[in-house]
Amino acid sequence: MSGRHCLPASPSRPVLRAGVVAAVAVTGPLAIAGTAVAAPAASSGTWDRLAMCESTQNWEADTGNGFKGGLQFTDSTWEEFGGDQYAASPDEASRSEQIAVARKVQEEQGWNAWPTCSDELGLQ
């Protein structure tokens, strides 16, 4: 029987299929975990929307009303949550620095730290 190849009997195919099923079962949760890790990037858009409501997304806002920056911090809140490590005043800090401080504020005070705009955006 030269030239003929003997194909394996069908038992190897179910093993292969089981391997594929197992691979899907293992990679499925990893894909979900990867999505969860990407969530902070999505929340960056939430901060932009909040800043649009608070200051028309003017990260350098200082209108003299006691609230400064894109997310309208008071100087005392800025200092209390470590903003002074970035800049003396919120309006002098970058967008990412203001968001870093805002995350700390939100973690402790919730969205109520920005009552009107967080309500308008459905964040509460």
Query: In Å, what is the CA distance from 49 to each residue of 54, 71, 121?
Result: 9, 10, 8
User: What's the predicted TM-score (pTM) here?
Assistant: 0.66
pLDDT in tens, 3-39: 554 444 545 444 444 444 433 333 333 333 333 332 3
CA angle 93, 99, 103 (to 5 degrees): 135
Nearest Cα neighbor of 69 from 37, 81, 8, 5 is 81
Centre a 10 Å sphere on the Cβ of residue 89 and count the other Cβ atoms it contains.
Answer: 16
- Token pair 């975990």 is at which residue? 33
